Amino acid sequence: MPPPVAAEVTRRKEQRAAAPAARQRAARDHTAGMITALGFDADDTLWHNETIFEEYHRRFQALLARYHDPQTVERALFATEMRNLELFGYGVKSFTLSAIETAIELTQGSIPADELRALLQMGKTMLAHPVELLDGVAETVAALAIQYPLFVITKGDLHHQERKFNRSGLAPHFAEIEIVSEKDARTYARILQHHGLTPGGFLMVGNSLRSDILPVIEIGGHAAHVPYPITWEAEQAAPPPAECGRFHALHHIRELPALVARLNGAGAR
Ligand SMILES: [Mg+2]
The tens digit of pLDDT for each residue in 14-31 reads 444 443 444 445 444 454
Whether residue 118 contacts residue 105, with contact meaning beta carbons closer than 8 Å, is answered with no
What pairs with residue 177 in β-bridges?
152
255: burial class by Cβ within 10 Å (0-12, 13-18, 19+)? middle
The residue ranges of DSSP E strands in 85-244, in sequence order, are 150-155, 176-180, 202-206, 222-225
In this prediction, what percent of the chain has a pLDDT beyond 70?
Answer: 86
Taking residues 143-168, report their average pLDDT. Answer: 96
In this prediction, what percent of the chain has a pLDDT beyond 90?
Answer: 79
CA of 204 to the centre of ligand 1 (A): 12
Flag the least confident range among 19-33, 56-70, 223-237: 19-33
Residue 24: how many other CB atoms lie within 10 Å: 10
Mean model confidence pLDDT for the chain? 88
CA of 183 to the centre of ligand 1 (A): 11
Q: Residue 124 belongs to what H/E stretch?
A: helix 113-128
Residue 162: how many other CB atoms lie within 10 Å: 15
CA of 161 to the centre of ligand 1 (A): 12
Whether residue 214 contacts residue 52, with contact meaning beta carbons closer than 8 Å, is answered with no
CA of 92 to the centre of ligand 1 (A): 14
Q: In 3D, which of 168, 169, 176, 250 has the Cα closest to residue 207? A: 250
Q: Residue 248 belongs to what H/E stretch?
A: strand 247-249
Query: pTM for this one?
Result: 0.84
pLDDT (0 to 100) of residue 20 = 41
Which residue has better confidence, 268 or 114? 114
What pairs with residue 247 in β-bridges?
223
Flag the least confident range among 8-12, 54-58, 68-72: 8-12
Q: In 3D, which of 3, 12, 14 has the Cα closest to residue 175? A: 12
* DSSP characters over 102-119: HHHHHTTT---HHHHHHH
pLDDT in tens, 95-130: 999 999 999 999 999 999 999 999 999 999 999 999
pLDDT (0 to 100) of residue 246 = 94
pLDDT in tens, 176-219: 999 999 999 999 999 999 999 999 999 999 999 999 999 999 99
Helix axes 92-106, 113-128, angle to 10 degrees: 160
Residue 130 per-residue DSSP state: P
Which residue has better confidence, 79 or 230? 79
> Is the pLDDT at 254 greater than 50, yes or no?
yes
Residues whose CB is less than 8 angstroms from the CB of residue 114 and which lie 6 or more positions away in sequence, other chains included: none
CA of 255 to the centre of ligand 1 (A): 18
Give the type of residue at 254: R
Domains identified in the chain and CATH numbers: 5-47+131-268 (3.40.50.1000), 50-128 (1.10.150.240)
CA of 264 to the centre of ligand 1 (A): 26
CA of 1 to the centre of ligand 1 (A): 29
Q: How far apart are CA 247 and CA 233, in angstroms?
A: 22
